[in-house]
Structure 1
Amino acid sequence: MASGAGKSAAFMLLILNVFLYFIVTVISGWAVNHAIVRSRETASTLAIPARIFPIFFPFGNMATGSLIIFSLIAGVVGFVTSLTGIQNVIQWDAPNLHTAAFTSLTSWLLTLLAMGLACKEIDMGWTDSNLRTLETILIILGGTQMFCTAAIHAGIGDVNTRGV
């Protein structure tokens, strides 16, 4: 891969991922806040195992709690690693690309975990429109983060062969 093509592809995908991870973080944060506000009144009528968990999600289905928590983690980690990845890709040398590759792979794995939970929630049935938006963005992020990770890894190979 030519040096300019890999660098520009990784840079553009990182910019896109910053915005998508920000949206995931905002929607997940809203859902956690909504659940915290409404959990006292809703969870008081539940049986003991469900009442022990401090956050009860009064919307969605049984997979919603795990989806929201893991998407919040993936959103925050992905946002931060995409920002640092932009800095590393701009410099485009071996140590910075290795750092960007590791953080990109970490973000991708967390995104795949959240994406799997989103697929499970879709499979289980009806969800709120905000949750459908979150599920859709997580599925899109799984693909864009994969391509970003591949572009950074291709850049490592290019930098190593050129000896920069």
Structure 2
Amino acid sequence: MANGQLKPVAGLLLVLNFCMYAIVLGIGGWAMNMAVEHGFIIGPGFDLPAHFSPIYFPMGNAATGFFVTFAMIAGVVGIASIISGFYHYRYWSTSSLPAAISAATIAWTLTLLAMGFACKEIELQIRNARLRTMEAFLIILSATQLLYIAAIHGAA
């Protein structure tokens, strides 16, 4: 690639996004564990609650289940896109660019979807500090992932 001026920016964004996606996965794993441990007990002789949801989370509000689920999906795909991005960063050639851009774009769109559920959760207002942290990271990740896509695509 002729233009290597954006390579340090792409490297910085790769490291930043990796750390943030890892934190999102950690908090999402905690929330998923809480939902499994403190969910509804369903079995013989137990009736379902009136407003049963298969995506029930004991903390947060009605959007929490969807938010955590899509945040975990976005986190896993984001980490996968960072692996592809690291390969592109290492070789910085036109042959590795399409894989890095397509993986980063898919991760960005899933991050935007999770950010939409984060905005809905913010609107409904009942949530704890860990969920607020995950919301903030996803909102920041939606911007930094777009900047990363622009940095590697602009250097083409």
Map of 2:12 onto structure 1: 12
Q: Residues 44 and 86 of structure 1: is their aligned pair in 2 closer, same or farther, counting only changes over 3 Å?
A: farther
Asked if the contact 1:14/1:83 (under 8 Å) is kept, the reply is no
Deviation by residue 1:70-102 (Cα, 9 ceiling, x = unmatched): 000001110121122111122111120111111
- Correspondence list, 1:1-164, <5 A: 3-41=3-41, 46-47=49-50, 50=52, 53=54, 55-156=55-156
Asked if the contact 2:80/2:103 (under 8 Å) is kept, the reply is no
Structure 2: distance between partners of 1:155 and 1:23: 29
The more displaced of 80-89 and 18-27 is 80-89
> More helix per residue: 1 or 2?
1
Structure 2: distance between partners of 1:149 and 1:36: 36
Unmatched tracts of structure 1, length 5 or more: 157-164
Q: The residue matched to 2:5 in structure 1 has which SS?
A: helix
Q: The residue matched to 2:95 in structure 1 has which SS?
A: helix
Asked if the contact 1:97/1:155 (under 8 Å) is kept, the reply is no
Unmatched tracts of structure 2, length 5 or more: none
**Percentage identity across paired residues of the two chains:** 42
TM-score, normalised via structure 2 length = 0.90
CA-atom RMSD in angstroms: 1.9
**TM-fit CA distance, 1:3:** 2.1
Structure 1: distance between partners of 2:63 and 2:148: 28
Structure 2: distance between partners of 1:112 and 1:101: 16
**Equivalenced residues, count:** 152
